[in-house]
Structure 1
Amino acid sequence: MVDELVRQGVRHVVVCPGSRSAPFAYAVQAAERAGRLTMHVRVDERSAAFLGLGLAKLTRVPAVVVTTSGTAVANLHPAVLEAHHGVVPLLVLSADRPVELRRTGANQTTVQPGMFGDAARAEFDVEAPTSDDLVGAEAGSWRAVVGSAVAASRGVGSEPGPVHLNVQLREPLVPDADEAGPADTVGKAGTLGGAESLGQQGGSRPSAFPAATGAGDGVQQLDEFDPTIERTLVVVGDLPEPGQFEQAVAWASAHGWPAVAEPFGDHPRPGVIPGGPLVLSDPGWLDAHAPDRVVTVGRLTLSRPVSALLRRPGVIVEAVAAHQWIVNRPKEIRTHPASLLDQRPRRPRDTSWADEWRTVGHRVAAALAEQPPAWPTGTAVAATVLGALPDNAVLFLGSSNGVRDVDYLAGGRTRPLTVVANRGLAGIDGCVSTAAGIALAGDGPAYALMGDLTFLHDANGLLVGPLEHQPDLTIVVVNDDGGGIFTTLEPGAPELAEDFERVFGTPTGTDLAALCAAHHVRHVLAESPDQLTTAVTEQPHGLTVVEVPVDRSTHRTERDRLRAVATKALRQ
Structure 2
Amino acid sequence: MSTSAGPPDSAAALADGVVAWLLRAGVTDVVVAPGSRNAPLSLAIWAAAEVGDLRLHVRIDERTGGFLALGLTKGSASGPRAAVVTTSGTAVANLHPAVLEAAHAGVPIVVVSADRPARLRGTGANQTTDQVGIFGALVATHDLDSVAALDAVAALTDAPVHLNLQLDAPLVPARPAAIVPAQKHRISPENGAFGQGLSRPSALPRGPRTVVVAGDDAGPPARQLAERAGWPLLAEPSSGARTGDHALRTYRLLLATALGEQVERVVVLGHPTLSRPVTRLLERSDVEVLVVRGLGVWPSSPPGSTHVDEPWWEGEPDDPAWLSAWREADRELGRRVDRLLAAEPTLTAYDVAATTFAALPAGGLLVVGASSPIRDLDLMARPTPVGSRRRVIANRGLSGIDGTLSTAIGAALGRESTRSLALMGDLTFLHDQTAFVIGPDEPRPDLTVVVVNDDGGAIFSVLEQGAPAHAASFERLFGTPHGMDLASLCAAARIPHLQVTSRPELEQALGSPNGGIEVIEAVVSRAGRRDLDAAVRALVDRADGLEVG
TM-score between the two structures when normalised by the length of structure 1: 0.84
Q: Say if 1:163 and 1:63 are closer, same or farther in 2 by CA, change over 3 A.
A: same
Say whether 1:557 aligns with 2:531. yes
Say whether 1:354 aligns with 2:323. yes
Say whether 1:451 aligns with 2:422. no
- Give, in angstroms, the shift of residue 314 of structure 1: 1.0
Question: What is the match of residue 195 of structure 1?
Answer: none
One-letter amino acid of the structure 2 residue matched with residue 333 of structure 1: S
Q: Using the alignment, how far apart are the partners of 1:333 and 1:225 within structure 2?
A: 17
Q: Say if 1:95 and 1:460 are closer, same or farther in 2 by CA, change over 3 A.
A: same
Alpha carbons 1:364, 1:570 under 8 Å: kept: no
Q: Say if 1:504 and 1:402 are closer, same or farther in 2 by CA, change over 3 A.
A: same
Q: Say if 1:268 and 1:333 are closer, same or farther in 2 by CA, change over 3 A.
A: closer
Secondary structure of 2:119's aligned partner: helix
Counterparts in 2 of 1:213-292, with a 5 A limit?
224-239=202-217, 245-264=219-238, 265=240, 268-282=243-257, 284-287=258-261, 290-292=262-264
Match of 1:179 among 170, 176, 188: 176
Alpha carbons 2:144, 2:150 under 8 Å: kept: no
- Give, in angstroms, the shift of residue 312 of structure 1: 2.1
Paired-residue identity, %:
44
Q: Which moved more, 1:526-535 or 1:511-520?
A: 526-535
One-letter amino acid of the structure 2 residue matched with residue 310 of structure 1: L
Question: What is the match of residue 384 of structure 1?
Answer: 355
One-letter amino acid of the structure 2 residue matched with residue 443 of structure 1: E
Say whether 1:523 aligns with 2:497. yes
Question: What is the match of residue 46 of structure 1?
Answer: 63
Q: Using the alignment, how far apart are the partners of 2:362 and 2:125 within structure 1?
A: 55
Alpha-carbon RMSD across the aligned residues, in angstroms, is 2.4
Question: What is the match of residue 134 of structure 2?
Answer: 115
Alpha carbons 2:231, 2:318 under 8 Å: kept: no
Alpha carbons 1:250, 1:271 under 8 Å: kept: no
Q: Using the alignment, how far apart are the partners of 1:326 and 1:279 within structure 2?
A: 27
- Give, in angstroms, the shift of residue 510 of structure 1: 1.1
Question: What is the match of residue 408 of structure 1?
Answer: 379
Q: Using the alignment, how far apart are the partners of 1:328 and 1:483 within structure 2?
A: 33
Q: Say if 1:349 and 1:185 are closer, same or farther in 2 by CA, change over 3 A.
A: closer
Q: Say if 1:7 and 1:276 are closer, same or farther in 2 by CA, change over 3 A.
A: same
- Give, in angstroms, the shift of residue 101 of structure 1: 2.1
Say whether 1:434 aligns with 2:407. yes
One-letter amino acid of the structure 1 residue matched with residue 141 of structure 2: E
Alpha carbons 1:47, 1:460 under 8 Å: kept: yes
Secondary structure of 1:11's aligned partner: strand
Q: Say if 1:4 and 1:279 are closer, same or farther in 2 by CA, change over 3 A.
A: same
- Give, in angstroms, the shift of residue 470 of structure 1: 1.2
One-letter amino acid of the structure 2 residue matched with residue 144 of structure 1: D
One-letter amino acid of the structure 2 residue matched with residue 385 of structure 1: T
Q: Using the alignment, how far apart are the partners of 1:74 and 1:537 within structure 2?
A: 41
Alpha carbons 1:387, 1:413 under 8 Å: kept: no
- Give, in angstroms, the shift of residue 434 of structure 1: 0.3
- Give, in angstroms, the shift of residue 483 of structure 1: 1.0
One-letter amino acid of the structure 2 residue matched with residue 360 of structure 1: A
Question: What is the match of residue 215 of structure 1?
Answer: none
Say whether 1:474 aligns with 2:448. yes
Secondary structure of 1:464's aligned partner: coil
Question: What is the match of residue 216 of structure 1?
Answer: none
Match of 2:52 among 14, 22, 35: 35
Q: Using the alignment, how far apart are the partners of 1:104 and 1:143 within structure 2?
A: 26
What is the number of equivalent residue pairs in this alignment?
Answer: 508
- Give, in angstroms, the shift of residue 520 of structure 1: 1.2
TM-score between the two structures when normalised by the length of structure 2: 0.87
- Give, in angstroms, the shift of residue 378 of structure 1: 0.7
Say whether 1:75 aligns with 2:75. no
| Structure 2 unmatched ranges of 5 or more | 1-17, 186-195
Q: Using the alignment, how far apart are the partners of 1:46 and 1:568 within structure 2?
A: 48
Question: What is the match of residue 218 of structure 1?
Answer: none
Question: What is the match of residue 332 of structure 2?
Answer: 363
Match of 1:319 among 272, 282, 291: 291
Q: Say if 1:500 and 1:412 are closer, same or farther in 2 by CA, change over 3 A.
A: same
Say whether 1:301 aligns with 2:301. no
Q: Using the alignment, how far apart are the partners of 1:91 and 1:571 within structure 2?
A: 52
| Structure 1 unmatched ranges of 5 or more | 130-138, 193-209, 211-220
Q: Deviations over 1:409-432 (max 9, x none)?
A: 112556652211000000011000
Alpha carbons 2:228, 2:317 under 8 Å: kept: no
One-letter amino acid of the structure 2 residue matched with residue 429 of structure 1: D
